[in-house]
Every structure is written in structure tokens, then in C-alpha cells.
């Protein structure tokens, strides 16, 4: 950990002792957290309470400073507290924090998304990626009159009942089976297949074709570490869903604005019927959306019968933050530079692993990146599970100790922001080499 200027301390009104905070937190919240992955259970070491963030850095309540590759789990593509985002939120707040009516920002943000995402003609704002995927699947079921949904092992689409089957992210991190509390009558409606296995998908369609409402996937998996699609996989899914009148749903909560400006659908040239998004879309505030072809979106209430609603959806502060972030992206067009930098980071990490004889494979897709500690290749969740989890845990702790914050799970992608400089990448690579040596010694 590196010492910071302590500026963040004031933000928590005297609560600067993390041990004491964890004690209080665990007494009043399950695991002491508001979302399981924050507890660092899979990697051990010290989870921390954040006090402030600036650019590529995060500072905890004790004044320790970290170079941040988690970036609030993806949303902060401009880094922490970008001045234009902060100013937009402040300005919006001065006019009122919520109205429960439509606001102009919704129209502008929706139009921007439509312009950037080839498959989106209309959309509905919600408050999270989970809401977006739940709503998209309801819509798919509503318009097809069918019940089954095909998802892929290791893909994570939030914590909706239908998705906690062979899920990635925290579910994979904690090694949980399908969650208790999900009625079997619901989980039985979810069919799974291995990612990147088109033959398996075809077999599912041969068997259940006339009962499948939709195929939902992360077009680039970010919740089992990073797993890009193999050539022809997305195209094959487009074909098979079209042949069987099922909807193809791209969950672009992570890949949106990251795999490319217009998401994975722009990058790979495959247009889904429905798209879900979140994270970058909200500039760090709680925003999600689902959208797609006009033909389907017209079925959403009040235009159509498929019901979906939300008191805080389209919130003016959230719309202002999202719009401000997208305006900066539009003006600065940083996508190629981010992609080059992410690639240099991954290449550098793999090189350091190679030099030390540590098995590793990895990839960067736009501003998302990931490394699996296995010889690879990693094309599926099963491949990802081959990676050395105990080495990752030690490596994570050693990186954190040296001031580099990676997602506290091997089943998460890394992210990059425009605030990460070439010097930050150099420093990270130095830390990574040291952390690998230390992690090996610790074994
Ligand atoms: N939504 C993120 C998916 N990897 C993880 C964040 C969380 O579960 O808190």
C-alpha cells in the first residue's frame, strides 16, 4: 500500500480505523458488505473502505492509495471523479434530485445510445444491470410466448432468479451452487451450454427449439475472467436464434462502451435483438437500460403489454452523470488508445509470467482485460476453472500490498480508464513482477 494525502478521511467523519469499521459492519450487514465480492473472501487479505477517488487512484479511509483496475467494477471509464461528471451531477442536484416524471436528460442519453449501438432503436432506463437483464428476458418471453432461456456457463447477468444457474462473478468466486431461494420451477426454465460451443447450442435448439424464448450472453465474458468469443461464435448464435424465432440478447453491461464505442455488437458486427447495459452508461451512478429493435420495444408498457417500471428510473442525477461521461468519450474518442494500453498491460503481465515459468494466458478487448493463471487456452468457464486460484489469491494480496488494486476474484475482468497513464502501466508491470515473485515464495 502506498501512503496518500489522507484527503479522503474527512469524508467518513472520523471513521478511519478499518478494523473497527469491519467489526461494526459485520455486525449490521451480512459479511459487512452491500455486495458479496467486496468482502475479498476469495483472496483473503484486507478488504478496505474507500474514502475518495481521483483519476486512476483510490484512497481508503486510512489514507492508503491504490492504482485502481476495478473502477467501481467497470463504470468509471474516465477514472474517478472526472470533473465534467462531478460538475454535471452537482448542477443537476441543485435543480432537484428526483421528480418521478420524465426529464430531458433521458431523451438525450437514449438518443446517444441509439446512435452508438447498432442494435438499439429504442430503450428503457432502469437502475442496474440486474434489472436490465430481468426486464429483457421478460420481454423476450412476452413477445415469443415461450418460457425457456439459454445462458452460458460462467456468464453472469446479475442476481435475477433466472440467471443464478452456472453463473460467474461472485457466484463463481464463492464456489456457490445455484442459489437457495430460487424456486426450481424458475431455474428449470434456464438451460445452459458452454461458452464458445456452437455445437452444444445447436443441440439445445434441436431439443427445445420451439420452447426457447431467448439466448442471453455476455458477448465477451467478463465474469469468469475475460473470455473473448471465438471466430464465428456470435455469428452462429445470430443464425441459430433467427432460424428458431428466438431472441438473441447481448448483455453489454460490461462490454458496452468498452469492447468498442458501440459495444461488442459494433466490434464483432453482430446485431442482437435486445441489448442490456449499465456500468459506463451511468457514469458511476446506478443506471441500467434494456433496448433493441423497435418491433420488440413497442411491446413494453405503456406502448405494449409487457410490464416494467421503476420509481427512480431515469433519475436526473444519473442521467446527467451518464450523459457527461458519454460526451467526454464522444469528444475525446479514446477507444483505440485505451485498447492499445490494455493490450500492452496484458502482454507485459504475460511476459513477466513467462520469464518466471508461471503458466498464464490472457487477453484484452477494448478497455477490458484479463489474465488466467493456466496454460490455456481459455475459451470457456471450465477452462477458466483450470486456473491456479491459490496463486491468484497470493498474487492479488501482493499487488494490493504494493498499491495496485485488482478485482478480488479470478472470475472478474479488469478495466482501464483514460486516467491510467503509460507510467501507471509501467509501474503496474514492475509491481506485477514483484508480486509474482512474492506469491511464489509464499507458496
Ligand atoms: N457487477 C459486477 C459483475 N462482475 C460485480 C460487482 C458486484 O457484484 O458487486
Span 246-266, average pLDDT = 98
How many A from CA of 117 to the centre of ligand 1? 23
Give Cβ neighbours of residue 173 (< 8 Å, ≥ 6 apart).
36, 37, 41, 42, 409, 410, 411, 412
Where residue 91 sits, what CATH number does that domain have? Answer: 3.40.640.10
Is residue 156 lining ligand 1, measured as CB closer than 6 Å?
yes
The predicted pLDDT at position 173 comes to 59
The predicted pLDDT at position 192 comes to 92
Is residue 169 lining ligand 1, measured as CB closer than 6 Å?
yes
Of residues 443 and 404, more confidence is placed in 404
How many A from CA of 73 to the centre of ligand 1? 6
* pLDDT tens per residue across span 226-239: 999 999 999 999 99
**Separation of alpha carbons 147 and 156, rounded Å:** 19
Inter-residue contact 172 to 381 (CB < 8 Å): yes
Q: What is the 3-state secondary structure (H, E, C) of the chain?
A: CEECCCHHHHHHCCCCCHHHHHHHHHHHCHHHCCCHHHHCCCCCCCCCCEEEEEECEEEECCCEEEEECCHHHCCCCCCECCHHHHHHHHHHHHHCCCCCCCCHHHHHHHHHHHHHCCCCCEEEEECCHHHHHHHHHHHHHHHHCCCEEEEECCCCCCCCHHHCCCCCHHHHHCCCCCCCCCCHHHHCCEEEECCCCHHHHHHHHHHHHHHEEEEEECCCECCCCCECCCCCHHHHHHHHHHHCCCEEEEECCCCECCCECCHHHHHHCCCCCEEEECHHHHECECCEEEEECHHHHCCECCCCCECCCCCCCCCHHHHHHHHHHHHHHHHHCCHHHHHHHHHHHHHHHHHHHHHCCCCCEEEEECCEEEEECCCCCCCCHHHHCCCCHHHHHHHHHHHHHCCEECCCCCCCCEECCCCCCHHHHHHHHHHHHHHHHHHHHHC
In a shared domain, residues 205 and 115? yes
Confidence class of residue 155 from pLDDT cuts 50, 70 and 90? very high
The predicted pLDDT at position 295 comes to 95
The predicted pLDDT at position 181 comes to 84
Number of domains in the chain: 2
In a shared domain, residues 66 and 119? no
Domain encompassing residue 288: 83-331
Query: Which three three-digit cell numbers place residue 235?
Result: 455469428
Q: Output the residue whose Cα is nearest ligand 1's atom 6.
A: 73
In a shared domain, residues 73 and 89? no
In a shared domain, residues 275 and 156? yes
**Separation of alpha carbons 354 and 131, rounded Å:** 42
The predicted pLDDT at position 6 comes to 45
Span 104-110, average pLDDT = 98
Picking from 292, 313, 331, the residue at the C-terminal end of a domain is 331
Q: What sign does the CA torsion over 188, 250, 288, 414 have? A: positive
Is residue 37 lining ligand 1, measured as CB closer than 6 Å?
yes
Is residue 421 lining ligand 1, measured as CB closer than 6 Å?
no
In a shared domain, residues 417 and 327? no
Sequence length of the chain is 443
Query: What angle separates helix 316-332 from helix 83-95, to the nearest 10 degrees?
Result: 150
In a shared domain, residues 102 and 64? no
In a shared domain, residues 284 and 160? yes
* pLDDT tens per residue across span 378-430: 999 999 999 999 999 999 999 999 999 999 999 999 999 999 999 999 999 99
Query: Mean pLDDT in the chain?
Result: 93
Picking from 331, 364, 379, the residue at the C-terminal end of a domain is 331
Is residue 223 lining ligand 1, measured as CB closer than 6 Å?
yes
Distances (CA, A) of 415 to 166, 236, 276: 24, 28, 19
In a shared domain, residues 264 and 400? no
Is residue 133 lining ligand 1, measured as CB closer than 6 Å?
no
How many A from CA of 206 to the centre of ligand 1? 34
Is residue 163 lining ligand 1, measured as CB closer than 6 Å?
no
* pLDDT tens per residue across span 291-347: 999 999 999 999 999 999 999 999 999 999 999 999 999 999 999 999 999 999 999
In a shared domain, residues 269 and 184? yes
32, 35, 221, best to mutate for ligand 1 pocket (most atoms within 8 Å of CB): 35
Picking from 283, 314, 331, the residue at the C-terminal end of a domain is 331
pTM score, whole prediction: 0.94
Where residue 380 sits, what CATH number does that domain have? Answer: 3.90.1150.10
How many A from CA of 77 to the centre of ligand 1? 16
In a shared domain, residues 160 and 238? yes
**Separation of alpha carbons 177 and 168, rounded Å:** 11
In a shared domain, residues 319 and 261? yes
Report which ligand 1 atom has the smallest distance to the Cα of 158.
1
In a shared domain, residues 277 and 377? no
37, 128, 223, 254, best to mutate for ligand 1 pocket (most atoms within 8 Å of CB): 37
Catalytically annotated residues: 156, 251, 279
How many A from CA of 168 to the centre of ligand 1? 10
How many A from CA of 407 to the centre of ligand 1? 10
Confidence class of residue 3 from pLDDT cuts 50, 70 and 90? very low
Q: Give the dihedral of Cα atoms 1, 439, 362, 216; nearest 10 deg.
A: -80
Amino acid at each position: 500500500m502506498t501512503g496518500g494525502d489522507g484527503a479522503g478521511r474527512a469524508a467518513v467523519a472520523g471513521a478511519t480505523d478499518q478494523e473497527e469499521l469491519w467489526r461494526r459492519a459485520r455486525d449490521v450487514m451480512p459479511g459487512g458488505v452491500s455486495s458479496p465480492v467486496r468482502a475479498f473472501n476469495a483472496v483473503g487479505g484486507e478488504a478496505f473502505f474507500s474514502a475518495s477517488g481521483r483519476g486512476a487512484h483510490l484512497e481508503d479511509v486510512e489514507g492508503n492509495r491504490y492504482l485502481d483496475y476495478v473502477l467501481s467494477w467497470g463504470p468509471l471509464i474516465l477514472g474517478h471523479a472526472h470533473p465534467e461528471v462531478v460538475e454535471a451531477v452537482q448542477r443537476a442536484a441543485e435543480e432537484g434530485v428526483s421528480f418521478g416524471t420524465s426529464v430531458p436528460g433521458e431523451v438525450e442519453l437514449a438518443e446517444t445510445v441509439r446512435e452508438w449501438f447498432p442494435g438499439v432503436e429504442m430503450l428503457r432506463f432502469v437502475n442496474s444491470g440486474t434489472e436490465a437483464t430481468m426486464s429483457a428476458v421478460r420481454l423476450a418471453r412476452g413477445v415469443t410466448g415461450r418460457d425457456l432461456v439459454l445462458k452460458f456457463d460462467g456468464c453472469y447477468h446479475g442476481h435475477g432468479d433466472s440467471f443464478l444457474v452456472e453463473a460467474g462473478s461472485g457466484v463463481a468466486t464463492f464456489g456457490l451452487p445455484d442459489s437457495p431461494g430460487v424456486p426450481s420451477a424458475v431455474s428449470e426454465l434456464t438451460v445452459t451450454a458452454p461458452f464458445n460451443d456452437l455445437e452444444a447450442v445447436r443441440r439445445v435448439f434441436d431439443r427445445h427449439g420451439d420452447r426457447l424464448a431467448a439466448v442471453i450472453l455476455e458477448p465477451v465474458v467478463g465474469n469468469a475472467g475475460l473470455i473473448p468469443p471465438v471466430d464465428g461464435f456470435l455469428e452462429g448464435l445470430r443464425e441459430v436464434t433467427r432460424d428458431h424465432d428466438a431472441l438473441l440478447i447481448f448483455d453489454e453491461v460490461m462490454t458496452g462502451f468498452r469492447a468498442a464505442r458501440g459495444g461488442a455488437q459494433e466490434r464483432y458486427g453482430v446485431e442482437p435483438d435486445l441489448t442490456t447495459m449499465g456500468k459506463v452508461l451511468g457514469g458511476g451512478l446506478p443506471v441500467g437500460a434494456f433496448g433493441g429493435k423497435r418491433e420488440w420495444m413497442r411491446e413494453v408498457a405503456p406502448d405494449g403489454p409487457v410490464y416494467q417500471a421503476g420509481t427512480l428510473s431515469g433519475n436526473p442525477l444519473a442521467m446527467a452523470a451518464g450523459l457527461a461521461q458519454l460526451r467526454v468519450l464522444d469528444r475525446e474518442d479514446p477507444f483505440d488508445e485505451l485498447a492499445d494500453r490494455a493490450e500492452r498491460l496484458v502482454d507485459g503481465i504475460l511476459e513477466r509470467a513467462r520469464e518466471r515459468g508461471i503458466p498464464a494466458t490472457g487477453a484484452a478487448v477494448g478497455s477490458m482485460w484479463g489474465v488466467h493463471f493456466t496454460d490455456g487456452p481459455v475459451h470457456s468457464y471450465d477452462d477458466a476453472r483450470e486456473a491456479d486460484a491459490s496463486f491468484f489469491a497470493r498474487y492479488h494480496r501482493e499487488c494490493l500490498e504494493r498499491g495496485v488494486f485488482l478485482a478480488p476474484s479470478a472470475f472478474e475482468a479488469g478495466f482501464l480508464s483514460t486516467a491510467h497513464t503509460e507510467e501507471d502501466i509501467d509501474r503496474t508491470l514492475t509491481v506485477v513482477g514483484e508480486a509474482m515473485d512474492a506469491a511464489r515464495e509464499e507458496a
